[in-house]
Amino acid sequence: MNHSLRRKLLIIGIVLIVAVLLVYGFLPKTQKVDLVPVTRGPLQITIEEEGRTRLKERFVISAPTAGYMRRIHAKVGDPVKKGQVVATLEPLQSQALDPRSRATGEASVFAADASLKAAIERERAATADADYTQQRLERLKALYAKGSIAKDQFDQIDSEARKARAVQRSAGAAVNVAKSELDRAKIALQNFTAVKRSGKNDAVKVTSPLNGVVYRVYRESEGAVNVGDPLMDVGNTGDLEVRVEVLSSDAVKIKKGTPVLFKRWGNDEPLAGIVRLVEPAGFTKISSLGVEEQRVLVIVDITSPPEKWQVLGDGYRMETHFIIWEGKNILQIPASALFRLGKDWAVFVEERGKARRRVVSVGQRNGLTAEILSGLKENEKVIAYPDDSIGEGTKIRQRK
């Protein structure tokens, strides 16, 4: 074989290899996809939001009067019974006297003492006048009995005797008033700031209004409190509800009596609940992304047996699922398998190793699953995540 022939054969071989490679490159390749079957089963359409538990009735125990509160020994979490004393208020202690107030008080004591002495002397004078008038009345009474004096004269001395006794009693009352004024002036000088009251009659007992648990103690140490100052919060842990802030666009789909599931509350088993109230007024809230949202407060009662959720307390977080639609025997596929074909929904169905586009009618949908009304049959397989590489007739096989 000469040199020119070898060269021709080499060129022909290269051309053939390039042609084969070109043909192979343009041949349709088999795409690896995720195939999922069309199934029947229960389907729920839910609205998911974060909820927090709260007490239906939280009682704030406050001071019924101003006073000096003794130290509160109750701690957060301690059980309390209805009528149990939770705080004791004593009368307020007096202020310490400054030098000017003390000097004024001492002068008041001196003046009150002088007034008492003057009142005592007036009482003695009134007593002497009353005794003399009484003796004179006794003498004239004997003369009147014998007819020695006129009746008018006897009546006059009798009136004077009664007047003298009234003046004596008035003077005695003035002495008592003067004594009280002296005692008051002396008490004003006494120092009660260091006196620790231990009497029971002057103390005010503050009691719990219900059987429950202490949730907050506003102040433990003793000290002066004003009327209405909060002392502690108590509530019944067996009487919880869940408050959920829902978008207003979702709140219109939630009605009173809507069933609810609580998940991720600390236990694998979800709790059941029912909507008790959808508040008629909304409010504006700034989301974590800085977006203004109009939200509505929804109140949910827990209907599961209390023994399943008795570990919950006030302010516990849980995921709330409002079930706004539910079906039992629903033909369904993953929502990710759907794509738009004009105004219709479509899916890629696996038929003999190839992808076939098929228009379907879609019913209810949640974030993961879609109800199929027509276009598919049970146990058919669809591509779960179709992309641009998939087209009509594309060869496909299950990704391992």
Q: What is the pLDDT of residues 201-216, one digit of tens each?
A: 578 899 999 888 998 9
What does the longest C-alpha to C-alpha distance in the chain come to?
198
Q: How many domains does the chain have?
A: 4
Q: Is residue 7 part of a domain?
A: no
Choosing from 281, 304, 327, the residue where a domain stops is: 327
The CATH number given to whatever domain includes residue 380 is 2.40.420.20
The residue type found at 341 is L
Residues 286-309: pLDDT tens digits? Answer: 988 888 999 999 999 999 998 899
314 and 249 in one domain?
yes
Q: Say yes or no to pLDDT of 28 above 70.
A: no
Residue 19, pLDDT > 80, answer no
Calculate mean pLDDT across residues 30-57.
91
Tell me which range, 84-93, 193-202, 274-283, is most confidently predicted by mean pLDDT.
274-283
Domain boundary among the residues 274, 306, 327 is at 327
Place of tokens 């003999």: 352
Q: Are residues 321 and 370 in the same domain?
A: no
Same-domain check for residues 280 and 313: yes
* Cα distance between residue 264 and residue 271, in whole Å: 10
**Is 69 part of a structural domain of the chain?**
yes
Cβ contacts of 213 within 8 Å, gap of 6 or more: 77, 78, 79, 80, 234, 235, 236, 237
Q: Is the pLDDT of residue 157 over 60?
A: yes
**Sorting pLDDT into bands at 50, 70 and 90, what band is 47?**
very high
Same domain assignment for residues 208 and 271? no
Q: Is residue 9 part of a domain?
A: no
Give the mean pLDDT of 360-373. Answer: 91
Same domain for 348 and 316: no
Q: Examine the domain organization and report whether 108 and 166 are in the same domain.
A: yes
Q: Does 5 fall in a domain?
A: no
User: What CATH number does the domain containing 310 carry?
Assistant: 2.40.30.170
159 and 118 both lie in a single domain? yes
Q: Which of 99-103, 142-146, 179-183 has the lowest mean pLDDT?
A: 142-146
Check residue 290 and report its DSSP letter.
S
In this prediction, residue 187 carries a pLDDT of 81
Residue 21 lies in a domain: no
Between 290 and 346, residue with greater pLDDT: 346
Mean pLDDT within 116-142: 86
Pick 17 or 62 by higher pLDDT. Answer: 62
CA-nearest of 321, 212, 213 to 265 is 321
Asked if the model's pLDDT at residue 26 lies above 80, the reply is: no
On whether both 33 and 162 belong to a single domain, the answer is no
Residue 208's domain is classified under what CATH number? 2.40.50.100
On the CB side of 132, CA atoms within 13 Å amount to 6
127 and 177 together in one domain: yes
Direct distance between the N- and C-terminal alpha carbons of the chain, in angstroms, rounded to an integer: 53
Give the SS3 label for residue 263. Answer: strand
377 lies in a domain?
A: yes
How confident is the model over 221-236, as pLDDT tens digits? 988 899 999 999 998 8
Q: Give the pLDDT of residue 349.
A: 94
* Mean pLDDT, residues 101-125 taken together: 86
Q: What dihedral angle (degrees, nearest 10) is formed by the CA atoms of 356, 358, 364, 369?
A: 10
Residue 151 belongs to a domain: yes
Q: How confident is the model at residue 24 (pLDDT cuts 50, 70, 90)?
A: low
Distance from C-alpha of 60 to C-alpha of 64, rounded to nearest angstrom: 12
- The reply to whether 315 falls in a domain is yes
How high is the pLDDT of residue 321? 95
Domain end among 235, 256, 289: 235
Q: Residue 200: pLDDT above 70?
A: no
Mean pLDDT of 112-126: 88
- d(CA 239, CA 310) in angstroms, rounded, equals 10
- H-helix segments, the chain: 3-26, 99-146, 151-189, 248-251, 306-309
Q: Are residues 340 and 259 in the same domain?
A: no
Same domain? For 73 and 221 the reply is yes
Do 79 and 215 fall within a single domain?
yes
Of 146-160, 230-244, 248-262, the range with the lowest mean pLDDT is 146-160
Residue-wise pLDDT for 270-279, tens only, equals 999 999 999 9
Q: Dig out the tokens for 299 from the structure.
A: 């109140």
CB-CB contact of 72 with 216 (8 Å): no
Host domain of residue 152: 99-189
